[in-house]
């Protein structure tokens, strides 16, 4: 296992508020890393700094470095568009486009230059299969994505992200808007996906982190308090703050 993504003294601030403070950690490839912590601790801001989506927020300032395969994505001249193709993202609330199921998945490949239907068809099928949605939608690919249930919409968004063949998949509380059954499906899916992808998931659900992740990072008030193999973090945390959080004394 090698390091895929590395944060080096990473800080993000919005105006005068510092959301992420001097975080350094490296994420291994082909594992699931969970980022846990109470609401407002900077979890989402941290993963959105990995694909530079914080750039969209007016007044956001990032210092330090994020190395993708050893290259700083914040370096001058780094191709942000290419970065976002390599580092895919699934959002908290399912956000399919108001297009057909097929067009949602095909959107990414299309903007990256794959236009022919003969080439797109297999990409759409594979992506939907990887997202465990194919069996439910294969007979109605032209239906609107908005006709799907919330859980299906989220899996569609995962398929959409996979269709551009990213190397890393960032998931920002992907199950927070879903029921327990849909959540279980997505969790199973994450475990399947780590064979080919590096998965980073933000969750406020500690059980979820314990169930699916290999590594866990605990973030508190923007600082990285603890980071290590999930079992170790959950069973023998080194910081008192981590233990207090995991045992439900605050959060």
Partner 1 sequence: MNVKRLKERVYFTLFRVATAAVLVFLSLMIWVFLSNGVGVLNWTFLTDIPRRGMTEGGIFPAIVGTLYLTLGAIVFALPVGVASAIYLVEYAGEGRVARAINAAITNLAGVPSIIHGLFGFGLFVNLLGLGTSLLSGSLTLALLILPLVISASREALLSVPRAFREGSLALGATKWESIRHNVLPYAVPGILTGTILAVARAAGETAPIILTATFFFRPAIPSSLLDGTMALATHIYYMATQHHSILLVRPLTYGAVLVLLGLVLSLNLVAILIRTRHRKGKKW
| Chain contacts with partner 1 (rule: CB under 8 A) | 51, 53, 56, 58, 81-86, 88-89, 91, 93, 95-98, 107-108, 111-112, 144, 146, 157, 160-161, 164
Separation in Å, CA 120 to CA 58, 69, 92, 116: 36, 29, 27, 6
Of 112 and 236, the one with the shorter C-beta distance to partner 1 is 112
What is the enclosing helix (H) or strand (E) of 169?
strand 168-172
Q: How far apart are CA 32 and CA 141, in angstroms?
A: 30
Of 54 and 183, the one with the shorter C-beta distance to partner 1 is 54
Q: How far apart are CA 137 and CA 142, in angstroms?
A: 9
Of 146 and 179, the one with the shorter C-beta distance to partner 1 is 146
Please give the structure tokens belonging to residue 247: 């045992």
CB of 94 to partner 1, least distance (A): 9
CB of 217 to partner 1, least distance (A): 21
CB of 65 to partner 1, least distance (A): 21
Of 146 and 239, the one with the shorter C-beta distance to partner 1 is 146
CB of 207 to partner 1, least distance (A): 27
CB of 225 to partner 1, least distance (A): 28
Of 88 and 237, the one with the shorter C-beta distance to partner 1 is 88
With CA atoms as reference, report the closest residue to 196 among 242, 144, 112, 130.
130
With CA atoms as reference, report the closest residue to 104 among 157, 180, 151, 162.
157
CB of 146 to partner 1, least distance (A): 4
Q: From edge to edge, which strands make up the β-sheet containing 60-68?
A: 17-28, 3-14, 60-68, 71-72
Of 10 and 164, the one with the shorter C-beta distance to partner 1 is 164
**Residue spans of alpha helices (H) in 142-196:** 150-162, 180-193
- Which residues sit opposite 25 in a β-bridge? 7
**17 within 8 A of 38, measured Cβ to Cβ:** no
CB of 88 to partner 1, least distance (A): 7
Q: How far apart are CA 226 and CA 239, in angstroms?
A: 7
Of 53 and 68, the one with the shorter C-beta distance to partner 1 is 53
């Amino acid at each position: 296992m090698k390091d895929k993504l590395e944060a080096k003294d990473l800080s993000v601030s919005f105006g005068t508020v510092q959301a992420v403070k001097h975080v350094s950690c490296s994420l291994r490839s082909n594992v699931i890393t969970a980022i846990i912590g109470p609401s407002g601790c900077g979890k989402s801001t941290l993963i959105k700094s990995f694909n530079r989506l914080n750039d969209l927020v007016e007044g956001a300032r990032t210092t330090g470095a994020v190395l993708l395969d050893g290259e700083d994505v914040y370096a001058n001249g780094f191709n942000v568009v290419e970065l976002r193709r390599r580092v895919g993202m699934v959002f908290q609330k399912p956000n399919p486009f108001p297009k057909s199921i097929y067009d949602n998945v095909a959107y990414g490949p299309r903007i990256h230059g794959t236009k022919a239907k003969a080439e797109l068809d297999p990409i759409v099928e594979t992506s939907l299969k990887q997202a465990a949605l194919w069996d439910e939608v294969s007979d109605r690919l032209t239906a609107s994505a908005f006709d799907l249930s919330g859980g299906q919409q989220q899996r569609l968004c995962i398929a959409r992200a996979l269709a551009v063949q990213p190397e890393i998949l960032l998931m920002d509380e992907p199950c927070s808007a879903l029921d327990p059954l849909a959540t279980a499906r997505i969790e199973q899916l994450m475990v399947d996906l780590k064979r080919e992808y590096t998965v980073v998931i933000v969750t406020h659900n500690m059980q979820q982190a314990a169930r699916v992740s290999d590594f866990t990072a605990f973030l508190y008030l923007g600082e990285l308090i603890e980071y290590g193999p999930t079992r170790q973090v959950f069973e023998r945390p080194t910081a008192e703050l981590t233990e207090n959080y995991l045992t439900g004394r605050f959060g």
